[in-house]
Amino acid sequence: MATVAERLEEIWGEKPGLATWVSTVDHKKLGMKYLYTGFIFFVIGGIESLLMRAQLMRANLNLLEPETYNQLFTMHGVTMMFLFATPVLSGFGNYFVPLMIGARDMAFPRLNAFGYWVFLAAGIFLYSSFLIGEAPNAGWFNYVPLANEDFAPGLNIDFYALGLIFLGVSTTGGAINFIVTAFKMRAPGMSLNRIPIFVWGEIAFAFQVIFALPLLTLASVLLVLERKFDFVFYNPDRGGDPILWQHLFWIFGHPEVYIVVLPAFGLASAIIPTFARHRMIGYTYIVLAELAVAIIGFGVWVHHMFATGLPQMSMSFISAASFMVAIPSGVQVFAWLATLVAGRPVMRTPMLFIFGFIFTFVIGGLTGAMFSAIPFDQATTDSDFVVAHLHYVLFGGAVFPMFAGLYYWLPKMTGKLLDERLGKLSFWLIFVGFNLNMFPLHILGLLGKPRRVYTYGEGLGWEIHNFLSTVGAFILAFGILLTFINWARSARNGEPAGPDPWNGETLEWATTSPPPDYNFEAIPTVRSREPVWAQPELREGPQPPELGGYTLDKGHVTLSTSVLDAQPEAVVHMAHETPWPFLLTVALMVMFYGILIEAWPLAAIGVVASLGGVLGWFWPSGETQET
Amino acid sequence: MRKRLRPELAISLSVLPLAMLGACASDAPSVLEPAGPAAASVERLWWLLFWISFVVFLIVLALMVRALRGRGRIEDAVDDSEVRWGEPFVALAGVVVPWIILTVAFIISLGVMKELATAEESEDLTIEVEGRMWWWEVRYPNGAVTATEIHIPVGERVRIKLTSADVIHSFWVPELQVKLDQVPGRVNELSLQANKPGRYRGQCAEYCGLQHANMIFTVIAEPRAEFDAWVANEAKPTVTAAGSALRGRDVFMDNSCVGCHAVRGTEAGAELGPDLTHLASRSTLGSAILPNTRENLARLITDPQSVKPGVTMPPTSLSSDELNDLLDFLQQLT
């Protein structure tokens, strides 16, 4: 008679090997893939920024050609927004949302695998542009007419537009998956008001993606039609309007900032209670604030366009909304601070990064509120001040929490602890390096230096700030390198972490590190917002059936529960590993390359192969559903 | 010891930026050294926003330092008691107080926006500035056309009509005004006023391609009489050339120069490149990246790509005699 664990291992285990590497649908393996791939793109984007900072270190340097510089800053933005920040936060979400809500996988495991492969393929597609020296070069917001065929006849912009359309498939699929998972797959008893804030962050993120991303896709499709098929949408010489691109882009683009920041805030909210040894103060405020940001975030896009000459009346409305969106961010900051003051903070590496996050993000948030004031925005937008602001928000608001998350969760993912001294050294280098890198850019902006210039003249008072900024960038890069070294060393010979090295509050700490393929031997019934703190039995192994544990060891199944109160509703069959998402992605990639180089037979092969891929994906496996 | 140090470190880190802000270089085209009424309003708004932000930041910093005073260990039992001050504090510090501050800031900023708005009818001088990749064409009502240098009478509000011939550019003179985009197919308007005579640096602020970094211009504010004399001269056609300059004029007409540039008073009337009728009266070349000297002019003619990579001007190969004659011609275009 096999034990429950053995039976579950039999049902859920994926055989190691190359085939499984391609066909896995395990949210943990996919989550790790997202993290590895996302951080590789982080390194690439970081190297791009170091090259730019080297070029700007002194006046009139000639390290980079102007065209190279322009491609670098464009790809730096595209990479950090689309290929690093969003995927890494999706990676954390993929890995931890099912664990935090006590599920055995995401709701749609194959869609999940598809999302990863499309992300990787779109990243490769975008970067293949460097092979022919025609990387996107019109900035990450790609304004027309500079991106029209008249001014950008090469393939640069086609890589950008098609790459983002392709990538959008991945992000949208992932968002739908997060919403269904968070609403339908929660452990019994985990009613809406007990959902961990990190999961709420992913929910808010997912809803924003679903409403915002179609606009980017639309804008890009119109651009491809205009560039390749002679349609007219943006070209002013033929009756189009270049401002239309800006509206479409920023209705997506501003929510994109929150798409990056909201899950990162969720990460902070996951770490703070554990490391403050105090339950979160203002849970309801934080959740409502995250949802408020997700909604108000759609009403502020025009503040990216205050200098385009729009009517004052319409700008005033957007200005008011932009001031207002500062409030829910402030609510979260003060709830974290209240929790830290009420608790007894443990200054380990994750917490250091959280303090660094609050410090830098608050600076970015305050300058953000300044940009809501129309005249101030008009004075400093498109200057280095805005570059400083957006990095304080995005690096401060997202990268610091991500690094906190790495130090917090890698022990769960690998089962090994990270080195504390190396972690702290890395933090201080990142913190000092970042501020030295980015703070002087505020001043440069006020001193009249526009952004996106590959060079500048002497005698303008811009040299010292640029020099300091470059020094800071290299310190920052070194600090980041130390964390990666720490990560690699820990994976090889770190101390074993045990199931719960931090005395954590949420369900991921109620299983082994790393968790088994089936996550939990018994899907627990939850009676508190902080289940592992409130239910001592969860620390002692699988929850026994008399306390509500569901072993479900008769099939490849997990529990589905009701949206509001998480009452058990059904036992749902989960998909097995399959190579079809991978194959479908390859077919789509063929199609996109076909469109890119206008090789229509190739594109047609891609379309037909994609249909075949969908067919294979949905071909009935012959297994019967059991409930 | 170590525990004592960290809050102080945090505080000194926050003061450092202030010191850096104080060390502003005065030769920069700084938003913080306004030379006109519009920029002065923006500067006042900045300092208001700065001090509000600074106080908020200090409060956050103080709370972080306060939190650091009661450290714990990860093994500590969890405090799951309800904190009575907790949620009221979040509501007050996170909602009520910011709401009041932000509302006040919003109203003040709308007032400043109104101050900046062009008074439609009051200006008697309208200058058209057209953005081109990567230079500026400047046109006056009396027919004067020039490039890169915008002369204005000091102390007067001048209306600037902003257009673009190709992609989106943005007109920014930090010491005088906020920036405003130049969007192809649209006309945007801005008022410009300098309180004292001087040269004010302007630069394109919207990324516009390869040479965005070198799309610079200068606003020259001068007393009304000087301005009147200048603008009257600029409107005139060029003087008749003689001697070597006359030969240089033929070089100009026989080579590709004539295909793009206008010299009013001659047959050269193309509008693709800058109007050169009074080239010698300008102090810079190549959209304010080089001083207007004979050597720089020669370099620009023979090898423009070395001056401004990507510029549409083709190189012109001339014998040294031809080049000298051409330079003589161009240098007498006052």
What is the chain B residue with the closest CA to A142?
B207
Q: What's the pLDDT at A196? A: 97
To the nearest whole Å, the CA of A2 is away from the closest chain B CA by 36
Local structure of residue A84 (DSSP, 8 states)? I
Residues B105 and B53 in one domain: yes
What is the chain A residue with the closest CA to B22?
A443
Determine whether the interchain pair A443/B21 forms a contact, defined as Cβ–Cβ distance below 8 Å. Answer: yes
Q: Going by C-beta distance under 8 Å and a sequence separation of 6 or more, which residues neighbour residue A47?
A: none
Instruction: Report yes or no: B41 at the A interface, CB cutoff 8 Å.
Output: yes
Total domains, chain B: 3
To the nearest whole Å, the CA of B316 is away from the closest chain A CA by 23
To the nearest whole Å, the CA of A323 is away from the closest chain B CA by 6
Nearest to A285 among B31, B90, B213 (CB): B90
CB A619 within 8 A of CB A575: no
Q: Is the peptide bond before B46 cis (omega within 30 degrees of 0)?
A: no
Give the DSSP letter string of A535-579.
Answer: -GGGGGSSPPGGGT-B--TTSSEEEEE-TTT--EEEEEE-PPP-S
Residues B205 and B131 in one domain: yes
**Domain contains B1:** no
Residues B266 and B203 in one domain: no
Instruction: Report yes or no: B31 at the A interface, CB cutoff 8 Å.
Output: yes
Mean residue pLDDT across chain B: 90
Determine whether the interchain pair B212/A363 forms a contact, defined as Cβ–Cβ distance below 8 Å. Answer: no
To the nearest whole Å, the CA of B154 is away from the closest chain A CA by 22
Nearest to B90 among A67, A307, A335 (CB): A335
Q: Which of B84, B115, B146 corresponds to the end of one domain?
A: B115
pLDDT digits (tens, 9 = 90+) for A452-469: 999 999 999 999 999 999
Residues B81 and B30 in one domain: yes
C-alpha–C-alpha distance, residues A495 and B122, integer Å:
76
pLDDT class for B76, splitting at 50, 70, 90?
confident
Interface of A with B in 472-501 (CB under 8 A): 501
**Domain housing B218:** 125-234
Least Cα distance to A497 among A516, A514, A518 occurs for A514
pLDDT class for B7, splitting at 50, 70, 90?
very low
Lowest mean pLDDT among A177-181, A272-276, A280-284, A621-625: A621-625
- Counted across chains A and B, CB pairs separated by less than 8 A come out at 315
CB B160 within 8 A of CB B192: yes
Q: What's the pLDDT at B121? A: 54
Q: Which tokens is A256 given?
A: 């994109």
Query: Is B40 buried (19+), middle (13-18) or exposed (0-12) by CB count in 10 A?
Result: middle
CB A406 within 8 A of CB A427: no
Nearest to A461 among B25, B71, B76 (CB): B25
Q: Which of B53, B86, B115 corresponds to the end of one domain?
A: B115
Nearest to B309 among A66, A358, A453 (CB): A66
Interface of A with B in 303-362 (CB under 8 A): 307-309, 312, 315-316, 319-320, 323-324, 326-327, 330-335, 337-348, 355, 358-359, 362
Determine whether the interchain pair A375/B45 forms a contact, defined as Cβ–Cβ distance below 8 Å. Answer: yes
Q: Which of B115, B142, B159 corresponds to the end of one domain?
A: B115
What is the chain B residue with the closest CA to A67?
B210
pLDDT digits (tens, 9 = 90+) for B292-308: 999 999 999 999 999 99
C-alpha–C-alpha distance, residues A583 and A616, integer Å:
9
**Domain contains B120:** no
What is the chain A residue with the closest CA to B166?
A145
Residues of B in contact with A138 (CB under 8 A): 207
Residues of A in contact with B167 (CB under 8 A): 143, 145-146, 151
Residues of B in contact with A464 (CB under 8 A): 25
Residues B222 and B262 in one domain: no
Residues of A in contact with B99 (CB under 8 A): 327
Residues B326 and B304 in one domain: yes
Instruction: Report yes or no: B83 at the A interface, CB cutoff 8 Å.
Output: yes
CB A232 within 8 A of CB A169: no
pLDDT class for A623, splitting at 50, 70, 90?
low
Interface of A with B in 565-624 (CB under 8 A): none
**Domain contains B229:** yes
Q: Which tokens is A191 given?
A: 């009613």
Query: Is B241 buried (19+), middle (13-18) or exposed (0-12) by CB count in 10 A?
Result: buried
**Domain contains B86:** yes
Q: What is the largest CA-CA distance in chain B?
A: 97
Residues B248 and B225 in one domain: no
Residues B178 and B132 in one domain: yes
**Domain contains B2:** no
Nearest to A446 among B30, B41, B133 (CB): B30
Average pLDDT over residues A368-373: 96
CB A92 within 8 A of CB A409: yes
What is the chain B residue with the closest CA to A452?
B207
Residues B22 and B104 in one domain: yes
Interface of B with A in 222-281 (CB under 8 A): none
pLDDT at A381 over 80: yes
Q: What's the pLDDT at B178? A: 95
pLDDT digits (tens, 9 = 90+) for B280-289: 999 999 999 9
Average pLDDT over residues A615-622: 85
**Domain contains B239:** no
C-alpha–C-alpha distance, residues A349 and A417, integer Å:
12
Q: Whole-model pTM?
A: 0.95
Percent of chain A with pLDDT over 90: 93
pLDDT at A626 over 60: no
Nearest to A376 among B42, B98, B185 (CB): B42
Lowest mean pLDDT among A211-225, A561-575, A586-600, B236-250: B236-250
Instruction: Report yes or no: A281 at the B interface, CB cutoff 8 Å.
Output: yes
Determine whether the interchain pair A345/B310 forms a contact, defined as Cβ–Cβ distance below 8 Å. Answer: no
Q: What's the pLDDT at B239? A: 80
End-to-end CA gap in chain A: 24
Determine whether the interchain pair A338/B83 forms a contact, defined as Cβ–Cβ distance below 8 Å. Answer: yes
Residues B248 and B230 in one domain: no
Residue with tokens 């649209």, as numbered in its chain: B186
Helices (H), B117-223: none
To the nearest whole Å, the CA of B157 is away from the closest chain A CA by 18
CATH assignment at residue B303: 2.60.40.420
pLDDT class for B6, splitting at 50, 70, 90?
low
Q: What's the pLDDT at B4? A: 45
Judged by DSSP in three states, A592 sits in helix
Mean residue pLDDT across chain A: 95
Determine whether the interchain pair B64/A451 forms a contact, defined as Cβ–Cβ distance below 8 Å. Answer: no
pLDDT digits (tens, 9 = 90+) for A265-310: 999 999 999 999 999 999 999 999 999 999 999 999 999 999 999 9
**Domain contains B298:** yes
Most B CBs within 10 Å, among A337, A389, A430, to test the B interface:
A337
pLDDT at A506 over 90: yes
pLDDT at A64 over 90: yes
CB B133 within 8 A of CB B167: yes
| ipTM of the predicted assembly exceeds 0.95 | no
Residue with tokens 């008001």, as numbered in its chain: A193
Residues B249 and B318 in one domain: yes
**Domain contains B170:** yes
Interface of A with B in 135-154 (CB under 8 A): 138-139, 143, 145-146, 151
Residues B224 and B250 in one domain: no
